[in-house]
Structure formats: structure tokens, C-alpha cells
Amino acid sequence: MASTFLRLFDLSLRAKGFDINKAKHHLSEIQNKNEASFEIYTQQQKRNILEYHLEHNSYYKSKLKNVNHSNWNNIPIMTKKDLQQPLINILSKGFNKNNIYVDKTSGASGNPFYFAKDKFAHALTWAQIIDRFSWYDIDFNSTKQARFYGIPLDKKSYYKQRLKDFVANRYRFSVFDLSDDAFEKVLNKFKKTQFNYINGYTSPIVQFAKFLSQREIVLKDYCPTLNVCIVTSEMLFYDDRKLLEEQFGIPVVNEYGASELDLIAFENPEGQWQVNSETLFVEILDENNNPIENAKEGRIVITSLYNKASPFIRYDIGDVGILSEKSTLKKPILEKLVGRSNDIAFLPSGKKAAGLTFYYITKSIIEDGGNVKEFIIEQLKLDHFKVSYVSNLEFTSAQKETIRLAMLKYLEAGITITFDNCKMLKRTRSGKLKQFTTYVSKS
């Protein structure tokens, strides 16, 4: 069976033009460099990607007029707003829909947009993920994953996602319903399936652990093949981590990534949040865009060292963090991350839904044209949600109805949705937008 999945998984990547073998070999060459040669590699790769976009990307070149390119600290900081426009405007010369990977950000920070990677850059993303997961003896070709992610509800997209999951040897649990009845079905699936690891959004996995705690159940007792739980996309707090370890009976690993970039940091077996220095260059900057020494808090700014299709150079991801004093250029350690926490929506029927459910709902307002610049959703009452957005154009009645129907579909009937087109949206203390906030008591 393992060889079957190996063939299917590799073929699925190759069929899409992602040369995973070449990417794995290249990643291995980078990792085998000593500290001195790694520093030379990093500086050269920064220069290579900068010069590439200055030569081949007219949009990026226009951003760097009258800038001294010889000093890296003079290179302007890019933000999500810089990339919120039709994709064709920011593609490098020679790239089109046939030779790029295209996706859209989840909008978890309130700033959705489409992005592109050249196919080798995306193959390197896969190579990086495969490498990090292998630290915990996970092989996507043979180990079975219990996946807590969203899933499209329209029939065509739903079955397409299920096929992808089959090829990747995983079973997906929807995060749209976190009720006890739903978790009973999840538990029964664990009893019948030899899952090797759990992977998914932090908040629904924590909710499942709370369900198990109420029933005094340790998941590994019901699924002895389970070895590790990897959480992503949202903050993992100490108490939640402790709960997961107790109720699952397995170690918990913390992942930090961004779809438009790569896997950013991954907890290694020594318990350190190891930053991806092979395909990314991560900086911590102050409010004046000056580098901050290790052990001090600042904005996380990232350069994608290989993406030639779009310029992610000194890109402010919208998070705040601290690099450990133990960090080296080759092995940076992320000591602390501020942000990335989503609330749970509590609904009139008693049903609960993960805050990241709203990624799927807000697909209907994420447009390639970039009219919607920012948005947040607030739950003001059990049955009242407010969508606040920044856009050059007011939503039409038809657009509002599309969003309303999406919320009813993913949540439940009897919900009221109001809309507010704002000039500016309120931000958290760290300067981020929180996509979803509930003001409803969780008691």
C-alpha cells in the first residue's frame, strides 16, 4: 500500500509540473553547507532574487526608483496592500497561468489577495514541508493523516478536495461544525482508522481535545498508531498545548507558515521553533524598518529567495516576533510569535464553528481585481454578525446576498448579517487586523 501512495503522491506533484526530486536535491545541497558557505549562499541568493525582479518585473522596478540597491537595508518594505491588485500586474516577464502556481491567502489577517509562485519555488515549498515533517518520521506517501481543515461545500470542489486527500493519504475532518455530535463521529473515525498523526488548525483541534477531556478519554487509547499532533495557522497557547498532550497522549508540534511564502518556522525535536533559512530570509525590524538585535521584539519581514514569478522581497507579513539569542544565520530560532489567534463562533443552536471558517465564507468577497482591501467579521450577538470592509466600491445587493447565503450555508439559518464600508479598520495592539472576533460570552 505504501508504494501505491508513493506513486500517487509523486505523480500528483509531477503532473502539475513540480519537480520534487530536483527540489529535494537542491534543498539538501543548501543544508549541507557549513556556516561560512551558508552566509555566502544567503547573501548571493538575496542579490540574485533582487536583481531578477529588477530586470524582469516592471511593477517591482517601479517601486525601487531612486533606491540604492547596493544596501539591503535601503530596499523598500512590501506590504499586503502592495500586492492587492490583478495578478497580471505583478507577474514577472515570461510567466503566465501555464507556468505558475496560483492561490489566494486565507485572509486570516484581514488582507486577502491572490499570489503566484514559479513552479520550482513551489516544489521547494513541498521539499521543505517534507523535510520538516520527516523529523517526526512522517512520510506523506505512507503515513496516515487526520486533517482538521476546512473543506469546500459545493459538490464539485468537495469531491475534488476528497480526491486530493486520498492521494495524500489523509482524511479530512471539517472545522465548520464543532458540536459534540460532530466530535462523536470524529472519535468513531479514530477508533476505526490507523491514523499516524494529526495536522490542522489549532482552535478546532483544541475544541476536540476539550470534548475528549469532558469524557475522560485519551485519544491514543482508541487509536494506538497515533504518534504526533502538528498544529498550524493559529496561536498555540501553553494551556492548550498541555491539554492536547494530555488528551491525545502524544507530543504536540507547532508550525508557522504563510501560503504566499513557505513554511516559515517548525518546531524541531529539541523543542525549538526553527526558522526556514534555506528558502527564506527572515528579518526582525523596528517601526523605522531598522534591523533589531536578537531577543528583542519586532516586525517579521520575509524575503522569498526563489520565487521568480512574483516579488516577495522584504515582505511584511503582519506578525510580530522575537528571534532567540541562540539564533545563527543558518539556524534561526523563533522564540516568540505575537498574533494568529482566531476566536470560536458560538451560534444560537449551540453549534460552534472555528474562526477560520470565515476563510471559506469570505472567498465570495476576495476578488482578483483587488477592490476589497481589508475586511473583518465581528459577532455582536449570537445571531448577529457584522462584516466591515475597506473597498473603493460599495457591495451591491447581489454581493451582500452572496455573502449572506455563504454564511447561512457554512453556519446555520436565523443569522443576521450587516455590512459597513469603512475608510479604515480597527487593529490590534500589534498593528494586525484580526479577521474574526466574537463578543459573545463563551460560558
Q: Flag whether 155 is in a domain.
A: yes
Predicted local distance difference test score (pLDDT) of residue 442? 62
Last residue of one domain, picked from the residues 305, 338, 371: 338
Do 378 and 416 share a domain, yes or no? yes
Q: Flag whether 112 is in a domain.
A: yes
Do 325 and 405 share a domain, yes or no? no
Closest to 112 in 3D by CA, of 403, 399, 364? 364
- C-beta atoms surrounding 427 within 10 Å: 14
The CATH number given to whatever domain includes residue 184 is 3.40.50.12780
Give me Rg for the CA atoms of the chain. Answer: 22
Burial of 348 from C-beta contacts in 10 A (0-12 / 13-18 / 19+): middle
Do 316 and 391 share a domain, yes or no? no
Give CA–CA dist 229/241, Å, rounded.
10
Grid coordinates in use for 49? 532574487
Do 296 and 366 share a domain, yes or no? no
Predicted local distance difference test score (pLDDT) of residue 13? 87
Give CA–CA dist 436/359, Å, rounded.
10
Closest to 42 in 3D by CA, of 301, 306, 295? 306
In the predicted model, residues of the chain with pLDDT beneath 50 are 1-6, 340-341, 429-430, 432
Q: Flag whether 443 is in a domain.
A: no
Do 12 and 78 share a domain, yes or no? yes
Give CA–CA dist 27/279, Å, rounded.
8
Give CA–CA dist 29/10, Å, rounded.
21
- C-beta atoms surrounding 381 within 10 Å: 13
Last residue of one domain, picked from the residues 338, 353, 378: 338
Predicted local distance difference test score (pLDDT) of residue 254? 96
Do 299 and 372 share a domain, yes or no? no
Last residue of one domain, picked from the residues 309, 338, 367: 338
Q: Flag whether 385 is in a domain.
A: yes
Do 334 and 354 share a domain, yes or no? no
The CATH number given to whatever domain includes residue 425 is 3.30.300
Predicted local distance difference test score (pLDDT) of residue 390? 84
Q: Where are the alpha helices (DSSP H) in 223-301?
A: 238-248
Q: How many domains does the chain have?
A: 2
Q: Flag whether 241 is in a domain.
A: yes
Do 348 and 334 share a domain, yes or no? no
Do 269 and 380 share a domain, yes or no? no
Which amino acid appears at position 286 of this protein? D
Phi, psi of 79 (to 5 degrees): -125, 175
Q: What is the pTM of this model?
A: 0.83
Point out which residues pair with 254 in neighbouring strands.
231
SS3 label, residue 25: helix
Point out which residues pair with 303 in neighbouring strands.
281
Do 274 and 302 share a domain, yes or no? yes
Centroid of chain to Cα 291? 25
Predicted local distance difference test score (pLDDT) of residue 369? 59
Q: Flag whether 77 is in a domain.
A: yes
Domain of 238 in residue numbering reads as 2-338
Predicted local distance difference test score (pLDDT) of residue 208? 94
**Residue 382 CA: distances (Å) to CA of 386, 399, 412, 416, 429:** 12, 23, 11, 9, 26
Q: Does residue 271 come out as left (phi exceeding 0), alpha (psi in the -120 to 50 range) or beta?
A: left
Do 334 and 348 share a domain, yes or no? no
Predicted local distance difference test score (pLDDT) of residue 50? 97
Do 219 and 201 share a domain, yes or no? yes
